[in-house]
Amino acid sequence: MSLHGIRFILIQNRWYMQFDDDEKQKLIEEVHAVVTVRDAKHTNFVEFRNFKIIYRRYAGLYFCICVDVNDNNLAYLEAIHNFVEVLNEYFHNVCELDLVFNFYKVYTVVDEMFLAGEIRETSQTKVLKQLLMLQSLE
């Protein structure tokens, strides 16, 4: 894979559909292109190929979920926020650096809350309890 563009993936993406690596890279670039040109007056939804992107911006960081066109926009918009609140709690005031240096833990948080392309657990209390339990394991 080439290093074109100085794109640098912060938190690794979870893919719930089969794409090859080049296709993933292309998708990331395209999503980036459509999302970052939008401002606060725009909706948090963008049509994208045969799907739609639901995204939310936190400081310089965009959190995006790509879903089917007839999925519930607001439910996924809040699922993103729910996820970010868990990260915030888990990393005590999360900042971008936490996510870079602990990328392998972020995966664990993702898998606790989302699995197989579906929402797995929504209770922040339950997720944090589980994460703390895992943290205590060697």
Partner 1 sequence: TPVIQALWRPRREDYLRPGADTTAIMPAVSKGDGMRGLAVFISDIRNCKSKEAEIKRINKELANIRSKFKGDKALDGYSKKKYVCKLLFIFLLGHDIDFGHMEAVNLLSSNKYTEKQIGYLFISVLVNSNSELIRLINNAIKNDLASRNPTFMCLALHCIANVGSREMGEAFAADIPRILVAGDSMDSVKQSAALCLLRLYKASPDLVPMGEWTARVVHLLNDQHMGVVTAAVSLITCLCKKNPDDFKTCISLAVSRLSRIVSSASTDLQDYTYYFVPAPWLSVKLLRLLQCYPPPEDAAVKGRLVECLETVLNKAQEPPKSKKVQHSNAKNAILFETISLIIHYDSEPNLLVRACNQLGQFLQHRETNLRYLALESMCTLASSEFSHEAVKTHIDTVINALKTERDVSVRQRAADLLYAMCDRSNAKQIVSEMLRYLETADYAIREEIVLKVAILAEKYAVDYSWYVDTILNLIRIAGDYVSEEVWYRVLQIVTNRDDVQGYAAKTVFEALQAPACHENMVKVGGYILGEFGNLIAGDPRSSPPVQFSLLHSKFHLCSVATRALLLSTYIKFINLFPETKATIQGVLRAGSQLRNADVELQQRAVEYLTLSSVASTDVLATVLEEMPPFPERESSILAKLKRKKGPGAASALDDGRRDPSSNDINGGVEPTPSTVSTPSPSADLLGLRAAPPPAAPPASAGAGNLLVDVFDGPAAQPSLGPTPEEAFLRFVCKNNGVLFENQLLQIGVKSEFRQNLGRMYLFYGNKTSVQFQNFSPTVVHPGDLQTHILSAPPALRSQVDGGAQVQQVLNIECLRDFLTPPLLSVRFRYGGAPQALTLKLPVTINKFFQPTEMAAQDFFQRWKQLSLPQQEAQKIFKANHPMDAEVTKAKLLGFGSALLDNVDPNPENFVGAGIIQTKALQVGCLLRLEPNAQAQMYRLTLRTSKESVSRHLCELLAQQF
In the numeric block, the tokens 């690596």 are attached to 21
Q: Show the binding pattern over residues 18-57: x = contacts partner 1 (CB under 8 A), - = does not.
A: xx-----x-xx--xx---x-x--xxxxxxx--xx------
Q: Which of 26, 110, 131, 132 binds partner 1 (CB under 8 A)?
A: 110
Determine if 132 is a binding residue for partner 1 (CB under 8 A): no
Instruction: Please tell me the distance from the alpha carbon of residue 47 to that of residue 37, in angstroms, as a whole number.
Output: 14
CB atoms within 10 A of CB 3: 7
Shortest Å distance, C-beta 66 to partner 1: 4
Q: Show the binding pattern over residues 54-83: x = contacts partner 1 (CB under 8 A), - = does not.
A: ------xxxxxxxxxx-xxxxxxxxx-xx-
Structure tokens at 122: 């929504």
Amino acid at 101: F
Structure tokens at 2: 């080439």
Give residues 82-101 in contact with partner 1 (rule: CB under 8 A): 82, 95-101
